[in-house]
Amino acid sequence: MTLTNTKITQLPIGKKTCDGRGLYLQLTGPKRGKWSFRYTIGGISHEMGLGTYPEISLAEARTLREAEKIKLAKGKDPLLEKQRAAQVNAEKSKVRFSHIAEDVIELKRPGWTSPKSRPQWRNTLKTYVYPHFDQKPLCELDRADVLAVLQPYWNSKHTTMRRLVDRMTAVFAYAKASGLYTGDNPAEWRNNLSPLLSQKRKPKHHPALDYRDLPQFFAELANIDTIGSLALQFTILTAARTSEVIFARPDEIDLRRGIWRIPASRMKAREIHRVPLAPQAVALLEALLLGHNQPFIFPGRDAEKSLSNGTMHQLLRRQFPNLTATVHGFRSTFRTWAAEIGDYHQHLAEVALAHRLDQRVEGAYNHSDYFTKRKAMMMDYANYVTQHVPERTIVAH
């Protein structure tokens, strides 16, 4: 049969069902399964795994199947190609940034006229880069890792960081030429790091999306069928912090009244924070919670653990590579919208963001959390954000 998302929920556990053109799905449990691809070469049947469901959606599985069909058309054995790729990746996974950096230093040494060049290269890389980069294989490093090294010192040690950009760029370029790194050079300055870093950049300011671009962005985000996308949608609709969202638990939610109570232990101000939930946020949670009974609303790959702290960030970088905004930056987007479109009082938006009010002015006399007014504001905001999204799209699929 040709599978659909609805038909998948009705499949018997343990039985392999063919979607057509060699693609099969076998459920291993409620709403869990594994994809495989069957093909024949030289009269011999083969079967290879394509990943797990629902981490890999039906649409993604079909795309993977067609990629394997193309290999067959070119006379290649998909399973053999997969095994070769796994072997290459296994070798690459052993290589760390420091290994290649030391090779680059030795290659450059004959051309250096100053005896200080070699120790300067090595010392800056050992001090700022190796401790972070060498925690994972060289082939897995990306721009986010480069920024994690540069941003904490960009203003205080700007000259050193600019030199470090050139040194990291050289190492990645060598790795690319050696076949140990694929993709764009993550340390390249022009049109890569330059939009995110400048000498006048103020610390702790997170790049934000212009509120006028938010409805279109949200419409594109709602079409991405992943738990990371749902978490980011909820983050935007509530203007919450990443840590508040990924560690959210079902018992914190009152769906009937549309309230999310975040315990003081997870709040930056160490005070309980009530978040009014717009109907769009409630609909998202209702559909998501119907699909699982895990400890966290947004579970990670290990269902007993929360979503990774970097999942939403990685989604932005992979699905929206030209976007400079960060996950935290969407709070700034909300704050600007509240002032320019919603025309809401500054303190109302600040309370929605769980910012401390000036104790000398507001905090000492006003203990209200403006919940009723904030509820109206968040409903207006959700309607603005989702104006290009069909209602049924803003839920877990």
Average pLDDT over residues 26-52: 94
pLDDT at residue 202 tops 70? no
pLDDT at residue 386 tops 50? yes
Q: Which domain holds residue 108?
A: 97-193
Check residue 356 and give its pLDDT. Answer: 67
Average pLDDT over residues 352-367: 56
Q: Number of folded domains in the chain?
A: 3
77, 136: one domain: no
Check residue 111 and give its pLDDT. Answer: 83
CA atoms of 129 and 237, how far apart (whole Å): 36
34, 83: one domain: yes
The structure tokens 């409630």 sit at 282
Check residue 165 and give its pLDDT. Answer: 95
Residue 202 domain-assigned? no
Of the listed ranges 24-28, 95-99, 235-239, 343-347, the one predicted with least confidence: 343-347
Check residue 394 and give its pLDDT. Answer: 52
Check residue 397 and give its pLDDT. Answer: 41
Residue 376 belongs to a domain with what CATH number? 1.10.443.10
DSSP string, 65-97: HHHHHHHHHTT--HHHHHHHHHHHHHHHTT--H
Residue 201 domain-assigned? no
Average pLDDT over residues 20-25: 95
**Which of 92, 114, 147 is where one domain is finished?**
92
In 3D, which of 346, 343, 341 has the Cα closest to residue 384? 341
Residue 142 belongs to a domain with what CATH number? 1.10.150.130
Check residue 205 and give its pLDDT. Answer: 61
Alpha carbon 16 to its chain centroid, in Å, reads 32
Q: What percent of the chain is predicted at pLDDT more than 70?
A: 92
In 3D, which of 234, 217, 244, 239 has the Cα closest to residue 333? 239
Residue 28 in 3-state DSSP?
strand
CA atoms of 73 and 105, how far apart (whole Å): 45
Residue 199 domain-assigned? no
Residue 18 belongs to a domain with what CATH number? 3.30.160.390
pLDDT at residue 173 tops 90? yes
Of the listed ranges 88-92, 295-299, 357-361, the one predicted with least confidence: 357-361
pLDDT at residue 363 tops 50? no
163, 307: one domain: no
pLDDT at residue 303 tops 70? yes
Average pLDDT over residues 112-117: 79
121, 252: one domain: no
pLDDT at residue 282 tops 80? yes
Average pLDDT over residues 291-301: 91
Give the contacts of 334 (CB within 8 A, at least 6 positions apart). 211, 236, 239, 349, 352, 353, 381
86, 101: one domain: no
Residue 337 in 3-state DSSP?
helix
Mean pLDDT (the chain) is: 89
Check residue 360 and give its pLDDT. Answer: 40
Average pLDDT over residues 280-303: 92
**Where does the pLDDT of residue 94 fall: very low under 50, low under 70, confident under 90, or very high at 90 and above?**
confident
215, 343: one domain: yes
Residue 262 domain-assigned? yes
pLDDT at residue 309 tops 60? yes
**Which of 36, 68, 92 is where one domain is finished?**
92
Bridging pattern class, strands 253-254 and 44-53: unpaired
Residue 284 domain-assigned? yes
Per residue in 240-277, pLDDT (tens digit) is 999 999 999 999 999 999 999 999 888 877 789 999 99
Residue 176 domain-assigned? yes
Check residue 329 and give its pLDDT. Answer: 93
**Where does the pLDDT of residue 201 fall: very low under 50, low under 70, confident under 90, or very high at 90 and above?**
very low
230, 338: one domain: yes
Average pLDDT over residues 136-165: 92
87, 101: one domain: no
Check residue 344 and give its pLDDT. Answer: 81
pLDDT at residue 35 tops 70? yes
217, 360: one domain: yes
83, 216: one domain: no
Phi, psi torsion values for 184, nearest 5 degrees: -70, 155
In 3D, which of 123, 122, 142 has the Cα closest to residue 133? 142
pLDDT at residue 391 tops 90? no
84, 101: one domain: no
- Specify whether the CB–CB gap between 284 and 234 falls below 8 A: yes
Check residue 199 and give its pLDDT. Answer: 54
Q: What percent of the chain is predicted at pLDDT more than 90?
A: 69
pLDDT at residue 346 tops 70? yes
**Which of 75, 92, 109 is where one domain is finished?**
92
Residue 200 domain-assigned? no
Check residue 12 and give its pLDDT. Answer: 94
Residue 204 domain-assigned? no
* Predicted structure pTM score: 0.49
pLDDT at residue 352 tops 50? yes
Residue with more model confidence, 394 or 270: 270
Check residue 203 and give its pLDDT. Answer: 45
105, 81: one domain: no
Average pLDDT over residues 189-215: 80
**Where does the pLDDT of residue 355 fall: very low under 50, low under 70, confident under 90, or very high at 90 and above?**
confident
pLDDT at residue 131 tops 80? yes
pLDDT at residue 396 tops 70? no
Check residue 392 and give its pLDDT. Answer: 54
- Specify whether the CB–CB gap between 105 and 118 falls below 8 A: yes
